[in-house]
């Protein structure tokens, strides 16, 4: 029964996606976050572009959280969270602040089958993480647990990793990491509780160590909040012999203490 339900859902969502593709071909492309017409799919209209919360310098040198003014992070350019607990990765960068506007892209991308948003988000990420991509030797997405992958049918982080690989020429290894058990939603938890939940949840997939060992890895995810998930994945990649790990995300939740 569950399988039949899943098949039904898959068929309905395939039809919806096909209908959307047909409509997209018939109608002029519209802005990523409003209904205004634009030149090409995957673009912001001029108004939304002005309002978009692109993350630029100054930001935390370590985790990429946006600062409100130059000098906010002191001499080391570190945010309070990174000063208190140094994350295991070298550098993390995000393309957009996670705010009302970017949620209009990220939420349908994550939960609403709008897989085509990966090709819109990847160029923004490639710009924010240009220095990271230049040095990366392999791109690895944060994995979903198998049960969630079956329900959603795609891993949004893997779609971003593929799109970034196409843009940069850096190879992606979408199955390098696996989630060994499903976890509850982290959305209502604080940083310490998040770190506890994701501890020992990730592992290198057998047979993929050779793609990671000795390489500079760029870990990719859709949204970074406390960094607990990316931190747990980074530790696993470093244990597998990665020579370094940087992190690139589509959207970064700002630290309210810095705004």
Could you say whether residue 31 binds Zn ion (CB under 5 A)? yes
Q: How many residues bind Zn ion (CB under 5 A)?
A: 11
Q: Which is nearer to Zn ion, 62 or 93 (CB)?
A: 62
Q: State in angstroms the smallest separation of the CB of 233 from Zn ion.
A: 17
Q: Which is nearer to Zn ion, 63 or 204 (CB)?
A: 63
Q: Which is nearer to Zn ion, 19 or 36 (CB)?
A: 36
Tell me the window of 73-81, 103-111, 129-137, 139-147 that interacts with Zn ion (CB under 5 A).
73-81
Q: State in angstroms the smallest separation of the CB of 213 from Zn ion.
A: 28
Q: How far apart are CA 123 and CA 125, in angstroms?
A: 5
Single residue of 19, 36, 130, 131 touching Zn ion by CB under 5 A: 36
Could you say whether residue 79 binds Zn ion (CB under 5 A)? yes
Could you say whether residue 191 binds Zn ion (CB under 5 A)? no
Q: Which is nearer to Zn ion, 13 or 51 (CB)?
A: 51
Could you say whether residue 82 binds Zn ion (CB under 5 A)? yes
- Sign of the CA dihedral running 78, 81, 82, 84: positive
Could you say whether residue 34 binds Zn ion (CB under 5 A)? yes
Could you say whether residue 194 binds Zn ion (CB under 5 A)? no
Three-class SS state of 109: helix
Q: State in angstroms the smallest separation of the CB of 63 from Zn ion.
A: 3
Q: How far apart are CA 169 and CA 164, in angstroms?
A: 8
Q: How far apart are CA 116 and CA 111, in angstroms?
A: 13
Please list every residue from 52 through 71 that binds Zn ion, using CB under 5 A: 60, 62-63, 65
Residues across the chain: 259
On whether the CB atoms of residues 66 and 254 are closer than 8 A, the answer is yes
Could you say whether residue 249 binds Zn ion (CB under 5 A)? no
Structure tokens at 251: 């959207």
Q: How far apart are CA 186 and CA 176, in angstroms?
A: 23
Could you say whether residue 92 binds Zn ion (CB under 5 A)? no
Tell me the window of 46-54, 164-172, 191-199, 217-225 that interacts with Zn ion (CB under 5 A).
46-54
Q: Which is nearer to Zn ion, 79 or 177 (CB)?
A: 79
Site string for Zn ion, 118-147 (x = CB under 5 A): ------------------------------
Three-class SS state of 163: helix
User: Between 100-111 and 117-128, two packed helices, what is the crossing angle to 10 degrees?
Assistant: 130
> Could you give the C-alpha distances from 244 to 105, 221, 234, in angstroms and in order?
30, 17, 9
Q: How far is CA 7 from the centre of its chain?
A: 28
Q: How far apart are CA 132 and CA 42, in angstroms?
A: 23
Could you say whether residue 45 binds Zn ion (CB under 5 A)? yes
Q: How far apart are CA 164 and CA 228, in angstroms?
A: 23
- Name the site residues for Zn ion (rule: CB under 5 A): 31, 34, 36, 45, 48, 60, 62-63, 65, 79, 82
């Amino acid at each position: 029964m569950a399988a039949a339900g899943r098949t039904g859902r898959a068929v309905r969502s395939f039809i919806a996606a096909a209908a959307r593709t047909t409509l997209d071909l018939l109608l002029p492309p519209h802005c990523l976050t409003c209904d205004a017409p634009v030149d090409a799919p995957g673009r912001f209209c001029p108004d939304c572009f002005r309002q978009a919360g692109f993350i630029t310098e100054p930001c935390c040198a370590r985790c990429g959280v946006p600062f409100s003014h130059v000098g906010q992070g002191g001499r080391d350019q570190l945010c309070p969270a990174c000063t208190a607990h140094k994350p295991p990765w070298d550098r993390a960068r995000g393309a957009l602040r996670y705010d009302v506007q970017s949620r209009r892209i990220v939420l349908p991308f994550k939960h609403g089958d709008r897989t085509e948003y990966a090709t819109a988000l990847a160029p923004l990420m490639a710009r924010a993480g240009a220095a990271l991509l230049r040095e990366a030797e392999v791109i690895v997405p944060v994995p979903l647990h198998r049960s969630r992958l079956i329900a959603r049918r795609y891993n949004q982080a893997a779609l971003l990793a593929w799109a970034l690989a196409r843009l940069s020429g850096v190879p992606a290894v979408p199955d390098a990491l696996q989630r060994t058990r499903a976890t509850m939603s982290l959305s209502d938890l604080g940083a310490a509780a998040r770190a506890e939940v994701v501890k020992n949840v990730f592992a290198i997939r057998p047979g993929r160590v050779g793609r990671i060992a000795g390489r500079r890895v760029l870990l990719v995810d859709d949204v970074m909040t406390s960094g607990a998930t990316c931190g747990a994945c980074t530790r696993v990649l470093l244990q597998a012999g990665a020579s370094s790990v940087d992190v690139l995300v589509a959207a970064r939740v700002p630290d309210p203490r810095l705004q």
